[in-house]
């Protein structure tokens, strides 16, 4: 954010602030040309030289900000071709949709090279190394930031954050001379302040996010302050009315007397804005005693004070970067909330040894200092395929559908609470999300690899939940791929209303007697799978199913348990000592985990229940090879206005050759081609190659359920398009 630089120079070198404007403008221009993150933005676009962007014309769906008050006032965004695609498809779960919990919270503000990079491609891009966040269990509020006037969060961030119970805010920012001119219009009257506030609330409600960070990085005349207060107050009230549980957070910038003067704490100069909003994001250059002072000023609203931390370390307390935890420790001690700005520092600065490792290590510091904010599973069904929203291939039920690298944060499933020590007394196992090895579903899986001695077991945290169990059994289904002697089970921990603890092992398939003998002393109950099946494909995935009834208990922890079974005895009881064992190799892959209150038997509507249409159809003329290109917007909905809980759809195409041509060259075989995933009831097909001699194309919309089940392709809704003559 430029306000980091402005804050520093305002407090240390006020005479250079004016000249800094032109320097920074030049800097950001150069950054857009040479920054590697900006280069990634271009790399994911299907064309190296994209045409000018016209929001009303059909094109690959993208997210974009509003840059003028005129755009905001006119409501022209709602006429954009891209608007329906930008609607978030995942709502906050009921437990997270209301007011934030009465405890200290963690807000994370994402700012990277101006925003709208790989994440702007709503249907996904082709950068497997695209930035993502997956430590959602540590976060309460996520802010998407850019330097545009109205920053609308891309729906991929909203979808995955909401799935994990995290609220999402957009940003309204005024800065530099242009910001001052905008402020003059925004605050010209009480009516204008209210009107623009209502426009912002309308956008948030329509797109499905949860409020705004308001950052007024301009100095104002004192006479404009009453209308500024009206704007903030009306925005807060209108947001609460349209989106219950929503938030408007004020950034510590302009003061009540109109000066652009960062206070670095809550005090009498910015408290009037705090009083009419849902919280304050305090500037980063605070001193050690400022969180305590701010808590005293806030009184019973101390958790609404979010002390800022710049991860880049620019004049921030503790230095940010790998010592961000120092600031968190102070904030935690004084029992207020924290606001972490730009955690993408790990990615942008290419921290060693690689992004995955550095990201996990950095967030581990945050967890150690701050603790966990979210718990899941909390409701059923629960499903995770450990997909981080990027990968090098895409798989459906063990069958590889695409080997094209991709990214789409909307495809994130529930993310595991992994810890990365990887050490045990009986060996050395490493746990990692693997996006390169073929997955069971999506583009990721959990790998456990290293050494493990025969008489030892290794436990890895997967999830920490608050799932209250009823009288019916709960069914666990998970997929495993492993070498001959490596076994993987699930350890479950339960707590009753009377604080009674129970531990249960859902063991891997194998020798029941050996398994019971091995674990009966370590768990209150050991359950063998009641069903084990293998996929028809040659992917080596084994599906294990177990059930358990624990009425009155709450499921609080799920761990993976890695172990080996050997029939021979490894301990000499008579001699009273343990024989030395040499470590042996261990390798297992966990593909997915599904928890349901009933056996997996999803009831999908028949294909005839759906209405599927193709809009904006355009078939280009043939090229020198006789091929054409097809553009079409696919839309579908259940007939009769029925609603449904389906979270996403896999999109395929089949190209039907002209029979007379196919028979002559023996090419009658039809092949399904995977196109991508949709999280709304629409998908835009762009520049689909239609080979010469193709008579029709069939688009298949495969319905996916919340429990991870997929409708059979032959039973899925579809659309046939005649392309004869292409």
What value does the mean pLDDT of the chain take?
89
pLDDT at 577 over 60: no
- pLDDT score, position 455: 84
Please determine, for residue 571, whether its predicted confidence score (pLDDT) is greater than 80: no
Q: Give me the residue label for tokens 């042996």.
A: 584
Place of tokens 């550095």: 358
- Kindly give, in sequence order, each residue whose CB lies less than 8 Å from that of residue 626, ignoring residues fewer than 6 positions away: 691, 692, 693
pLDDT digits (tens, 9 = 90+) for 330-365: 999 999 999 999 999 999 999 999 999 999 999 999
Under 8 Å between Cβ of 269 and 282: no
pLDDT in the model for residue 573:
36
Confidence of residue 538 (pLDDT cuts 50, 70, 90): low
- Does residue 594 have a pLDDT over 90? yes
pLDDT for the residue 570: 39
Cβ proximity of 148 and 215 under 8 Å: no
pLDDT tier at 420, thresholds 50, 70, 90: low
Q: Are 585 and 564 in contact (CB under 8 A)?
A: no
- How far apart are the C-alpha atoms of 370 and 170, rounded to whole Å? 24
CA distance 567 to 517: 11
Can you give the pLDDT at residue 281?
Answer: 99
Residue range 190-221, pLDDT digits in tens: 999 999 999 999 999 999 999 999 999 999 99
Token pair recorded at residue 654: 């089949």
Range with the lowest mean pLDDT among 116-130, 161-175, 430-444, 580-594?
Answer: 580-594
- Looking from the CA of 720 toward its CB, the CA atoms found within 13 Å total 6
As separate numbers, helices (DSSP H) first and strands (DSSP E) second, the chain gives 15, 35
pLDDT at 660 over 90: no
- Helix axis angle for 355-370 and 324-333, nearest 10°, is 20
Q: What is the DSSP string of 6-23?
A: HHHHHHH-GGGHHHHHHH
pTM score, two decimals?
Answer: 0.91
Position 20 confidence tier, pLDDT thresholds 50, 70, 90: very low
**Partners of 37 in the β-ladder:** none
Binned at pLDDT 50, 70 and 90, residue 16 comes out as very low
Q: The tokens 């549980």 sit on which residue?
A: 245
Quote the DSSP letter at residue 565.
Answer: -
Quote the percentage of the chain above a pLDDT of 70.
Answer: 87
Q: How many residues in total does the chain contain?
A: 726
Partners of 545 in the β-ladder: 477, 531
Give the β-pairing of 141-144 and 106-110.
Answer: parallel
A 10 A CB-CB count for 303 gives: 19
pLDDT class of 426 with cuts at 50, 70, 90? low
Q: Is 533 left (phi over 0), alpha (psi -120 to 50) or beta?
A: beta
Q: pLDDT by residue (tens digit) across 74-109?
A: 999 999 999 999 999 999 999 999 999 999 999 999
Most confident listed range (75-89, 430-444, 530-544): 75-89
Smallest CA-to-CA distance from 404 within 46, 148, 42 is with 46
pLDDT reported for residue 209: 98
Minimal CA–CA distance to 119: which of 354, 390, 416? 390
* Highest averaged pLDDT of the listed ranges 7-16, 452-461, 622-631: 452-461
CA distance 1 to 5: 8
Name the residue with higher pLDDT: 35 or 469: 469
């Amino acid at each position: 954010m430029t306000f980091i630089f402005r804050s520093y120079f305002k407090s240390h070198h006020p005479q250079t602030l004016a000249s800094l404007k032109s320097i920074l403008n030049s800097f950001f221009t150069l950054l857009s040309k040479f920054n590697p993150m900006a280069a990634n933005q271009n790399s994911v676009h299907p064309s190296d030289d994209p045409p000018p962007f016209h929001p009303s014309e059909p094109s690959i769906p993208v997210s974009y900000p509003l840059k003028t008050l005129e755009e905001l006032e006119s409501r022209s965004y709602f006429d954009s071709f891209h608007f329906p695609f930008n609607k978030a498809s995942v709502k906050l779960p009921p437990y997270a949709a209301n007011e934030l919990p009465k405890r200290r919270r963690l807000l994370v503000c994402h700012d990277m090279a101006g925003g709208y990079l790989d994440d702007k491609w709503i249907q996904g891009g082709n950068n497997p190394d695209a930035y993502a966040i997956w430590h959602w269990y540590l976060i309460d509020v996520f802010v998407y930031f850019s330097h545009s006037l109205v920053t609308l969060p891309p729906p991929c961030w909203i979808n995955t954050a909401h799935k994990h119970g995290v609220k999402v805010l957009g940003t309204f920012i005024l800065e530099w001379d242009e910001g001052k001119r905008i402020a003059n219009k925004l605050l010209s009257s009480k009516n204008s302040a209210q009107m623009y506030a209502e426009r912002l609330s309308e956008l948030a409600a329509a797109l499905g996010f949860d409020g705004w960070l308001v950052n007024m990085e301009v100095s104002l005349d004192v006479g404009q302050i009453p209308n500024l207060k009206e704007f903030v107050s009306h925005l807060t009230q209108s947001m609460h009315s349209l989106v219950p549980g929503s938030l408007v957070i004020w950034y510590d910038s302009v003061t009540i007397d109109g000066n652009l003067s960062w206070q670095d704490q809550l005090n009498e100069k910015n408290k009037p804005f705090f009083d009419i909003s849902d919280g304050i994001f305090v500037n980063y250059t605070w001193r050690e005693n400022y969180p305590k002072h701010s808590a005293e000023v806030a009184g019973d609203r101390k958790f609404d004070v979010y002390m800022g931390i710049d991860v880049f370390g620019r004049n921030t307390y503790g230095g940010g970067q790998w010592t961000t935890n120092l600031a968190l420790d102070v904030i935690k001690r004084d029992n207020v909330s924290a606001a972490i700005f730009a955690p993408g520092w790990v990615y942008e600065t290419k921290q060693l040894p690689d992004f995955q490792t550095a990201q996990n290590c950095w967030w581990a510091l945050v967890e150690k200092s701050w603790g966990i904010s979210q718990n899941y599973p909390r409701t059923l069904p629960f499903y995770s395929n450990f997909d981080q929203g990027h990968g090098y291939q895409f798989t459906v039920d063990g069958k590889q559908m695409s080997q094209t690298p991709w990214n789409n944060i909307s495809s994130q499933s529930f993310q595991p609470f992994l810890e990365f020590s990887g050490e045990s007394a009986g060996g050395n196992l490493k746990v990692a999300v693997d996006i390169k090895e073929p997955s069971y579903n999506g583009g990721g899986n959990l790998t456990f690899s290293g050494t493990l001695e025969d008489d030892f077991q290794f436990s890895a945290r997967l999830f920490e939940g608050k799932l209250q169990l009823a009288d019916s059994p709960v069914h666990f289904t998970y997929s495993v791929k492993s070498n001959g002697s490596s076994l993987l089970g699930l350890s479950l921990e339960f707590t009753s209303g009377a604080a009674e603890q129970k531990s249960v092992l859902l063991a891997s398939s194998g020798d029941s007697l050996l398994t019971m003998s091995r674990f009966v002393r370590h768990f209150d109950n050991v359950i063998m799978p009641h069903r084990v099946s293998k996929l028809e494909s040659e992917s080596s995935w084994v599906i294990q199913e177990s059930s358990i009834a624990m009425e009155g208990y709450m499921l609080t922890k799920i761990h993976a348990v890695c172990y080996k079974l050997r029939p021979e005895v490894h301990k000499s009881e008579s001699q009273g000592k343990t024989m030395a064992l040499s470590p042996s190799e261990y390798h297992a892959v966990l593909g997915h985990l599904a928890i349901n209150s009933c056996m997996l038997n999803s009831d999908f509507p028949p294909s005839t229940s759906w209405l599927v249409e193709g809009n904006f159809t355009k078939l280009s003329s043939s090229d020198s090879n006789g091929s054409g290109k097809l553009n079409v917007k696919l839309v579908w909905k259940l007939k009769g206005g029925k609603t449904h809980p389906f979270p996403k759809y896999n999109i395929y195409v089949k190209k039907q050759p002209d029979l007379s041509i196919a028979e002559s060259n023996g090419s009658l075989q039809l092949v399904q081609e995977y196109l991508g995933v949709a999280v709304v009831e629409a998908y835009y097909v762009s520049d689909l190659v239609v080979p010469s001699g193709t008579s029709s194309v069939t688009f298949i919309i495969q319905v996916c359920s919340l429990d991870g089940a997929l409708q059979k392709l032959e039973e899925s809704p579809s659309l046939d398009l005649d392309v004869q003559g292409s």
